[in-house]
């Protein structure tokens, strides 16, 4: 919170929670010595026992003397405009998701251009480690039950391009490699296990129907059963930069199509996998990186299945 009045001040900050939820501490006293001073306050929130899956709102408020405040603001300012303050209620949305994960997973993450998928993996209760260039070049990868490459990692990480063969060897030995979407730089070398290329195919309609080609595959059955409900509540799009594969060693798991005339035809490259030795290589053109921060339950369930799959 910030202090926007002249001089000193002392505020009492509290959260507004759904009935039965607990917060520690119950309130926090914050002292300010000057105008424009900012302080960060942390609260630990615990849902009530038996709280159902769904979305919940948590509000924040501060009392300064006999004045109460429950709004925050964002400053909008550019050289060619006057400063503006956009006010909105100080609240956030929290979503409880019914999702299961395989026990004792350790996931390695190769960050690309930047995304919030690592935080989503931690929220699932999974141990996560960032894989450094040194780790990728000569470190032990066998300790990871799955490795995930971040959004457009093959564009950003020269060490990933140079050591891609180590990841394929990791899969042959029984690991799971999940490759999030890449752009056309992925086509510059044989980064996929068999001939394949990234295309401009995408599904821009976030409500587009999704057909699972092989619903008995473990990707859709364990530890979470992926049903039509998993595709509800998606935001902005289904996915982009799908993988084109003609090699029969690939499995295309999803079929979807846009309702727009300028993007005709069925698209099958949103989720593609291949068995390599004892492990599985998986390409994800689905926009999980966008759905997870938005709290989409089906995205968390599908992510948990991808991380939990064995071969």
Average pLDDT over residues 64-73: 87
Question: Greater confidence, 308 or 85?
Answer: 308
Residue ranges covered by each domain of the chain: 9-96, 106-308
13 alpha carbon, distance to own chain's centre = 30
Q: Is the pLDDT confidence value at 5 over 80?
A: no
The tokens of 219 are what?
């990707």
Of 45, 44, 52, the closest CA to residue 97 belongs to 52
d(CA 306, CA 300): 10
Burial code (b: 16+ CB inside 10 Å, e: under 16) for 10-45 equals: ebebbbebeeebeeeeeebebebeeeeeeeeeebee
Burial code (b: 16+ CB inside 10 Å, e: under 16) for 225-257 equals: ebeeebbebbeebbbbbbbbbeeeebbbbbebb
Q: Is the pLDDT confidence value at 1 over 70?
A: no
> CA 207, 210, 216: angle at the middle one, nearest 5?
145
What is residue 198's three-state secondary structure?
Answer: strand
> CA 128, 192, 246: angle at the middle one, nearest 5?
130
What is residue 215's three-state secondary structure?
Answer: coil
Residue 211: the pLDDT is: 98
Using left for φ > 0, alpha for ψ between -120 and 50, and beta otherwise, residue 20 falls in left
Residue 244: the pLDDT is: 98
Q: Is the pLDDT confidence value at 111 over 80?
A: yes
Q: 106-308 has which CATH code?
A: 3.40.50.880
Residue 34: the pLDDT is: 79
The tokens of 152 are what?
């457009």
> CA 20, 11, 63: angle at the middle one, nearest 5?
60
Of 194, 211, 166, 219, the closest CA to residue 274 belongs to 194
The tokens of 216 are what?
């008995």
Q: 51-55, 126-130, 210-214, 271-275: which range is least confident on average?
A: 51-55
Q: Confidence class of residue 8 from pLDDT cuts 50, 70 and 90?
A: confident
- Distances, alpha carbon 253 to alpha carbons 38, 173, 213, in Å: 49, 23, 5
Q: Cβ(213)–Cβ(253) under 8 Å? A: yes
pLDDT digits (tens, 9 = 90+) for 223-278: 999 999 999 999 999 999 999 999 999 999 999 999 999 999 999 999 999 999 99
d(CA 103, CA 91): 34
What is residue 283's three-state secondary structure?
Answer: strand
Q: Confidence class of residue 67 from pLDDT cuts 50, 70 and 90?
A: confident
Q: Could you tell me the strand order of the sheet in which 106-110 lies?
A: 127-130, 106-110, 146-149, 176-180, 279-284, 271-276, 250-252
Q: Is the pLDDT confidence value at 6 over 80?
A: no
């Amino acid at each position: 919170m910030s202090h926007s009045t002249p001089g000193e001040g002392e505020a009492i900050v509290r959260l507004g929670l759904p009935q039965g939820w607990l917060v520690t501490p119950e309130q926090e006293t914050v002292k300010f010595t000057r105008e424009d001073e900012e302080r960060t306050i942390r609260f630990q929130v615990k849902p009530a026992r038996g709280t159902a899956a769904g979305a919940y709102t948590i509000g924040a408020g501060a009392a300064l003397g006999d004045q109460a405040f429950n709004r925050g603001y964002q400053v909008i300012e550019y050289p060619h405009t006057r400063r503006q303050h956009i006010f909105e209620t100080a609240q956030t949305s929290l979503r409880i998701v019914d999702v299961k994960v395989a026990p004792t997973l350790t996931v390695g993450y190769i960050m690309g251009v930047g995304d919030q998928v690592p935080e989503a993996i931690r929220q699932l209760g999974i141990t996560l480690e960032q894989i450094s260039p040194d780790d990728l070049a000569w470190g032990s990868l066998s300790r990871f039950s799955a490795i995930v490459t971040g959004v457009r990692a093959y564009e950003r990480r020269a060490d990933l391009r140079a050591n891609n063969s180590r990841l394929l060897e990791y899969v042959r030995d029984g690991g799971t490699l999940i490759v999030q979407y890449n752009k056309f730089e992925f086509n510059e070398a044989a980064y996929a296990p068999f001939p394949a290329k990234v295309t401009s195919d995408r599904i821009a309609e976030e409500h587009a129907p999704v057909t699972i080609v092989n619903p008995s595959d473990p990707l859709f059955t364990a530890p979470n059963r992926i049903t039509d409900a998993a595709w509800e509540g998606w935001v902005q799009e289904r996915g982009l930069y799908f993988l084109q594969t003609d090699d029969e060693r690939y499995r295309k798991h999803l079929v979807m199509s846009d309702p727009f005339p300028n993007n005709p035809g069925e698209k099958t490259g949103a989720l593609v996998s291949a068995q390599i030795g004892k492990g599985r290589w998986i390409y994800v053109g689905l926009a999980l990186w966008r759905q997870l921060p938005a709290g989409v339950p089906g995205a968390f369930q599908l992510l948990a299945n991808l991380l939990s799959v064995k071969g």
